[in-house]
Amino acid sequence: MLFHDGFLSTPKMTLTQKLLHLHWPFIALMTLTACIGFAMLYSAAGGDFDPWASRQMARFAIGLAGMVIVGLTDIRLWLRYAYAFYFLVLVLLVAVEIAGFVGMGAQRWISLGVFNLQPSELMKVALILALARYFHGGSIEDVGRPIFLLPPVLMIGLPSILIVRQPDLGTTLMLCASGVAMFFAAGVRMWKFALMGVLGVISAPVAWFTLLREYQKQRILTFINPETDTLGSGYHIIQSKIALGSGGMFGKGFMQGTQSHLNFLPEKQTDFIFTMLAEELGMVGGMTLIGLYALLLAYGFFIAMSSRSHFGRLVGIGVTVTFFLYVFINIAMVMGLIPVVGVPLPLVSYGGTAMLTVMFGFGLLMCVHINRDLTIGRRDSGDEF
């Protein structure tokens, strides 16, 4: 062991040693899950790799390379530049408000020529890094002071206001939920969560009349009773339930789903891809995918709790909770357990920025794993290497 700047540290690892210390079982499970996604996108296109499966494979390959690069980076670099990255993405969100283009009724993207960037997806990771750095620099006594919690509340609130205006209620809810998880992991007392919950209930009517768009209100009303508009706002969830139920135990067979291939099922390659999987592969196929997700989540929490640095633990927990929210919200949505929101199924749904964001988060998780024995002091900004 070595000492520098008053804090305990570990000797530097070579590049080869870092590669060997990547969490290979996690990477194998992640790749297997992505392959299920490739297969379902192949099926969604009627037995063709174009237009979805081939592009998704390319994005996964790029994301995998990026994940390894992020994983091999010294974790103190992410600590040092966490705020800078957060403010950069915040500026991009403001740019969306000013010059973003509209797609599928929402203004969420910036055109970069080669591809379209959705900054709200990047904010999911940027917020985790910023909150992890902030709480890393505070003591237990600091966390107990309400004034200390005001800056992280603003960190969550500012991008949430910008994102809900796009409008993107699903991402807004994910940001708030992952932020709450970070507060909990940092040691915030339970009575403060209860107080915020009461304030949230009290402010719900205000949000209903001032923040929510008409179609968002309709989604909530449709969730309560989809049968009120079977050919309109309730159509998606009704068709999804029909497809889920028709799959039975073992499904209708790969590429044999009727709801999806006869185009009754909307957005089968993105938001409702789990429904198509359950129709073709049945309950067994659906539970297999959920089992893979559960293993990834278990590994994620294990990696987070194995870190000796508070920053590493918080980053690991934030990434894992965000991944859980992706999975839970999407599957609960297509089953009719929560209102329909635009949240993709990670590694499976077709999508560029969402795929790269998940892989970026996994890269940070690999970085936490490789640097798990590194102890970083509260005042260490990562200037010493």
Q: Which of 31-40, 160-169, 259-268, 305-314 has the lowest mean pLDDT?
A: 259-268
First to last CA, the chain: 14
Task: State the pLDDT at residue 104.
Answer: 58
| pLDDT above 90 (res 155) | yes
Sheet strands (E) in 57-214: 101-103, 106-111, 116-117
Measured between alpha carbons, how far is 81 from 239 in angstroms, rounded to an integer?
46
pTM for the full predicted model: 0.88
With beta carbons less than 8 A apart as the criterion, state whether 22 and 366 touch.
Answer: yes
Of 332, 310, 313, whose CA–CA distance to 321 is shortest? 313
pLDDT at 141 over 70: yes
Is residue 216 over pLDDT 90? Answer: no
At residue 239, the pLDDT reads: 85
CB contact at 8 A, 152 and 183: yes
Per-residue pLDDT reduced to its tens digit, 256-267 = 988 877 777 777
Residue 109's contacts (CB-CB under 8 Å, 6 or more residues apart) are 96, 100, 101, 103, 116, 117, 118
Q: Write the pLDDT tens digit of every residue in 324-375.
A: 999 999 999 888 888 877 789 999 999 888 898 999 999 999 999 999 998 8
pLDDT exceeds cutoff 90 at 118: no
Predicted pLDDT at 233:
59
The confidence score (pLDDT) of residue 346 equals 94
The whole-number pLDDT of residue 123 equals 95
What is the predicted pLDDT for the residue at 2? 39
Q: State the pLDDT confidence band at 270, using cuts at 50, 70 and 90.
A: confident
Task: Categorize the per-residue pLDDT at 90 as very low, low, confident or very high, splitting at 50, 70 and 90.
Answer: very high
Q: What is the pLDDT, as a whole number, of residue 11?
A: 56
Q: Quote the mean pLDDT of the chain.
A: 85
pLDDT grade, residue 54 (50/70/90)? Answer: very high
Residue 6: what pLDDT? 37
* Token pair 């060997």 in the structure block, residue: 20
pLDDT at 382: 47
| C-beta of residue 330 within 8 angstroms of C-beta of residue 341 | no
Q: How confident is the model at residue 102 (pLDDT cuts 50, 70, 90)?
A: low
8 or 215, which is more confident?
215
Among 40-54, 210-224, 259-273, 282-296, the minimum mean pLDDT is found in 210-224
DSSP bridge partners of 101: 109
pLDDT attached to residue 379: 61
Element (H, E) at 13: none
Residue 30 main-chain phi, psi, to 5 deg: -60, -45
pLDDT of residue 211 exceeding 80 = no
Give the pLDDT band of residue 138 (cuts 50, 70, 90).
Answer: confident
Tell me the pLDDT band of 226, cut-offs 50, 70 and 90: low
Please state at what angle helix 169-186 crosses helix 310-334, rounded to 10 degrees.
140
State yes or no: pLDDT of 223 exceeds 90. no
